[in-house]
Amino acid sequence: MRLNLVVRWMCRGGRSLAIGLLLGIGASLVGAQTGGPTKPVRIVVPYPPGGANDILARVVSEKLSTAIGQPVLVDNRPGAGAVVGTEHVVRAAPDGYTFLMAASGPIVFNPALMNKLSYNPLRDLAPVSIVGSFPLVLGVRDDFPARNLKELIQYTQARPNQSAYSHPTTSFQLVMEWLKTRTGLQGIHVPYQGSAPSVNAVLTGEVQMTLIDTGPIAPMLQAGKVRALAVTSDQRLANYPNVPTLKEQGVDLAVNLWSGLLAPAGTPVPIIARVQAEVARIMAMPDVVDRMNKLDIRPVGGTPADMAKTIASEIELWSGVARANQITAQ
């Protein structure tokens, strides 16, 4: 029964790949290939529509649907810091018909921040592929006196009790606290419910700085109302070539958050391999690369092994940062 499921799922649009993957299962299975998935596949997004994860899921779903010959539906299930949608996939049947498009938040930050998380991503989910990665930017109001990271550090050290930063999620707070530890930057954290209020807090002077992804802050950067002092990626962003990296400013630190595709634990390995191969192909398509570049997302399409290694190492990293700064989920 399980082998028949694998054969049906693998065949459509990928006969040669299926043959190669199924050699270890048995040559008789190759001849049994008669079709692809027999019903629509779902990609659960644990966030509302419109965000980066939702966009990535819809890009993948459209292209994947063509490849496997069945509709690939995007199912938004937000709530509880992405726990609701993630739990839904954890409990789903491991039959190749349900996947999760999640940011690093519920996969590596939630385990670092929540003592009683209802799922264990290392045990309950099977990595498929990191689909895309993106950095954060450190932004201040345009008339703020500091013009670079060094000046910002000096400013906040001289005014530790009058310096504050906004953030929309505890995961961004963890990154900022790590940056503070590594640089001596000072700042009281002020959480906001959402990205737009976090950016607006800089504009109104409620806080002096924010650490956030480029999407929500882009309109203010383009309007000249906010300046980005640094980007957390290894290289400068094509859309903001004048914004230096942390490393360029003497801080040996790079942080890229990511979005990736996962499946319920126990999903057959050949199905995961087929989907990963398709994701890698999709993320290399010129039209997809162009669209991702406009969103400051680096297309990845990595392997399950690479994703598993990233998840394990980042859970360890951010758990240490959370413990050192006594940070728990809001």
Q: Express each pLDDT in 268-300 by its tens digit.
A: 999 999 999 999 999 999 999 999 999 999 999
Q: Which residue has the higher pLDDT, 7 or 32?
A: 7
User: Is residue 263 very low, low, confident or very high in pLDDT (cuts 50, 70, 90)?
Assistant: very high
Q: Do 121 and 266 have their domain in common?
A: yes
> What is the average per-residue pLDDT within 317-329?
89
Q: Do 129 and 277 have their domain in common?
A: yes
pLDDT at 79: 87
> What is the average per-residue pLDDT within 8-12?
53
pLDDT at 5: 53
Q: Do 79 and 144 have their domain in common?
A: no
Please count the residues of the chain: 330
Q: Do 226 and 296 have their domain in common?
A: no
pLDDT at 11: 52
Ramachandran angles phi, psi of 299, nearest 5°: -65, 140
pLDDT at 19: 40
User: Is residue 23 very low, low, confident or very high in pLDDT (cuts 50, 70, 90)?
Assistant: very low
Q: Which residue has the higher pLDDT, 329 or 149?
A: 149
Q: Do 283 and 140 have their domain in common?
A: no
Q: Do 274 and 126 have their domain in common?
A: yes
Q: Which of 216, 249, 282 represents a domain boundary (last residue)?
A: 249
330 located within any domain:
no
Query: Which of these ranges, 40-54, 136-150, 305-319, has the smallest mean pLDDT?
Result: 40-54
pLDDT at 80: 85
143 located within any domain:
yes
Query: Is residue 15's pLDDT more than 70?
Result: no
pLDDT at 81: 81
164 located within any domain:
yes
Number of domains in the chain: 2
5 located within any domain:
no
16 located within any domain:
no
pLDDT at 211: 94
Query: Is residue 265's pLDDT more than 50?
Result: yes
Q: Do 127 and 145 have their domain in common?
A: no
Q: Do 126 and 270 have their domain in common?
A: yes
Residue 155 lies in domain: 136-249
**pTM of the predicted model as reported, rounded to 2 decimal places:** 0.83
Q: Do 284 and 149 have their domain in common?
A: no
For 26-41, the pLDDT digits (tens) are 332 222 333 468 899 9
Query: Is residue 63's pLDDT more than 50?
Result: yes
